[in-house]
Amino acid sequence: MTNPADWSSSRLGYRFADEHLLRQALTHRSAGPDNNERLEFLGDAVLGMVIARALYDLKTEAREGALSRYRARLVRRETLAQLARNLDLGQYLQMGSGEHRTGGHQRDSVLADALEALLGAILLDGGFPAVAEVVQNIFHDLLDSLPLEADLVDAKTALQERLQARGLPPPEYHLLQATGAAHARTFSCCCRLPDLQLEATGSGNSRRQAEQRAAALVMEQLGDDG
């Protein structure tokens, strides 16, 4: 395993002048007080800013609502965690033995937070132009393959809008079970429409994903007459 500074240079395309900032960004709160929580706060803000500007330039015809949905899709936890995995970020995280033993270095929330902390550290170390370039590099493929605006509305939103149009109450979501190790959980959720006596169960690696899949199955049951 290369040292963190070389990893940052080769995978993020950024060489830290102050390597303490890099170490802090890679330190989980379970490892001590000099951790990445404050940097994560900063990184979250700058990430949203850079992505917003990129979308503004790319999607010149999109209205505010669509731009917000694009941004939410790009900066959500699942997306950031996958980008962190692509960068092999997890193997460089410093954390307490208990957290590491339970697979914390593979957990979506930990990886997403660490990626944001790295961006915060780059902002402090190299300024806004440096962090903007890193974000553009990391998100290049995602920005280059954004879905059509019509495909942005997720299943839960589409289902709720469909029910509202008919004057029906919103769907009910219930967590049925969560199984597996902490870093590889599988969730099962039920989406239920009591007034229409419809329900479906979906599963995924997050509760949100399971609910989305359950909602999509209910939408299929509603069909064109829903």
Rounded to whole angstroms, the Cα distance separating 16 from 117 reads 14
User: Is the per-residue pLDDT at 226 higher than 50?
Assistant: no
Structural domain count of the chain:
2
Is there a single domain that holds both residue 216 and residue 107? no
Q: What pTM did the predictor assign?
A: 0.74
Query: Which residues are the active-site residues?
Result: 44, 116
Is there a single domain that holds both residue 71 and residue 161? no
User: Is the per-residue pLDDT at 203 higher than 90?
Assistant: yes
What tens digit of pLDDT does each residue of 123-143 get?
Answer: 999 999 999 999 999 999 999
Residue 11: the pLDDT is 95
Is there a single domain that holds both residue 61 and residue 143? yes
Rounded to whole angstroms, the Cα distance separating 159 from 196 reads 13
CATH number for position 137: 1.10.1520.10
Structural domain boundaries enclosing 195: 155-225
Yes or no: say if 5 and 19 are a contact pair by the CB < 8 Å rule. yes
What tens digit of pLDDT does each residue of 80-118 get?
Answer: 999 999 999 999 999 998 887 888 888 999 999 999 999
Q: Which domain-ending residue is among 133, 148, 163? A: 148
Residue 56 neighbours by CB distance under 10 Å: 12
The DSSP code for 180 is S
Alpha helices in the chain (DSSP H): 4-7, 19-25, 37-58, 64-75, 77-86, 97-101, 108-126, 128-138, 140-144, 155-165, 207-222
Work out the pLDDT band at 224, boundaries 50, 70, 90: low
Q: Which domain-ending residue is among 148, 170, 198? A: 148
What tens digit of pLDDT does each residue of 77-86 get?
Answer: 989 999 999 9
H or E element in which residue 173 lies: strand 172-179
Q: Which amino acid is at 111?
A: L
Q: Which domain-ending residue is among 97, 131, 148? A: 148
Rounded to whole angstroms, the Cα distance separating 123 from 127 reads 5
Is there a single domain that holds both residue 142 and residue 171? no
Yes or no: say if 183 and 102 are a contact pair by the CB < 8 Å rule. yes
Rounded to whole angstroms, the Cα distance separating 127 from 135 reads 13
Is there a single domain that holds both residue 128 and residue 85? yes
From residue 90, alpha-carbon distances to 75, 137, 202 in Å are: 18, 19, 28
Alpha carbon dihedral 207, 209, 214, 220, in 10-degree steps, equals 170
What mean pLDDT, rounded, does the chain reach?
A: 92
Yes or no: say if 179 and 186 are a contact pair by the CB < 8 Å rule. yes
User: Is the per-residue pLDDT at 150 higher than 70?
Assistant: no
Is there a single domain that holds both residue 115 and residue 168? no
